[in-house]
Amino acid sequence: MSFIVAIDGPAGTGKGTITKLIAKEMGLVNIDTGAMYRSITLECLNNGINSALSIVEDKEKIIEIAKKCKIEIEHIGEEQKIILNGKDVSKEIRSSEVTALVSPISSIPEVREIMVDLQRKMAEEKDVIMEGRDITTVVFPNANVKIYLDADVEERAKRRYKENIEKGIETTYDEVLKSIKERDENDKNKKVGALKIAKDAIIVDTTKLNIEQVKEEVKNIITEKLK
């Protein structure tokens, strides 16, 4: 039986950074499910689906794309590479074009079904730390550890803006704040796989904590469960 740590929360709570650090320190396999929805979105963009309207009009085409996409997560040392149809797309999937369309594309129930199946397969026979929006509620409702990371929206926008600047992605703070608010709204109101706090999840509010403090708090929660 594998040991599963499931982490959910909105954009900008530090889920990605925290899970990467904890995976390394605790010997768990790190799975970033947002990167999987981003990969499908990138493939849609590459196939000319590039607006909210085309997402509605081309729903069947998007489902076909999701069925055909081969998504792999390669772990090389600390780094996690996202491989889409044999190509490393780790950087491309963070672009603002992908970010703008990923939430509506991830709202398509059939796309979610395909991703959830793949996420469960990825965790077979492995001890994993998986992060996303519906991991504690849909993908692994019986996970050994269930955590919901949260933070004020302005603080999350500040963190994401800083991250973008460091990665050389050009944006303004106001654009990031607007995009996060839109995604929050969309992610919380999806018909399937909406972002919700599982009844038995432990909530960690990261607003006033730095990465090191959040990491320690999450590690303590996991260590308690391992006892």
Residues 18-47 that bind ligand DC (CB under 6 A): 33-34, 37-38
Residue 41 Cα to chain centre, angstroms:
13
Q: How far is the CB of 134 from ligand DC (least distance, A)?
A: 5
Among 13, 123, 133, 179, binds ligand DC (CB under 6 A): 133
Among 118, 193, 215, 218, binds ligand DC (CB under 6 A): 193
Sorted by sequence, the CB contacts under 8 Å of residue 49 that are 6+ apart come out as: 55, 58, 61, 62, 65, 101
Q: How far is the CB of 48 from ligand DC (least distance, A)?
A: 21
Through-space distance between the first and last CA atoms of the chain, rounded to whole angstroms: 16
Q: Distance between CA 80 and CA 90 in Å, rounded? A: 8
Which residues, listed in sequence order, are joined to residue 227 by a DSSP beta bridge? none
Q: Does 156 bind ligand DC (CB under 6 A)?
A: no
Structure tokens at 7: 């982490």
Q: How far is the CB of 11 from ligand DC (least distance, A)?
A: 4
Among 146, 156, 183, 215, binds ligand DC (CB under 6 A): 183
* 143 vs 220, beta carbon nearer ligand DC: 143
Q: Does 9 bind ligand DC (CB under 6 A)?
A: no
Q: Does 102 bind ligand DC (CB under 6 A)?
A: yes
Q: Does 160 bind ligand DC (CB under 6 A)?
A: no
Q: Does 147 bind ligand DC (CB under 6 A)?
A: no
Asked if 22 and 215 count as a contact pair (C-beta separation under 8 A), the reply is yes
Phi-psi region of 13 (alpha: psi -120 to 50; beta: other; left: phi over 0): alpha
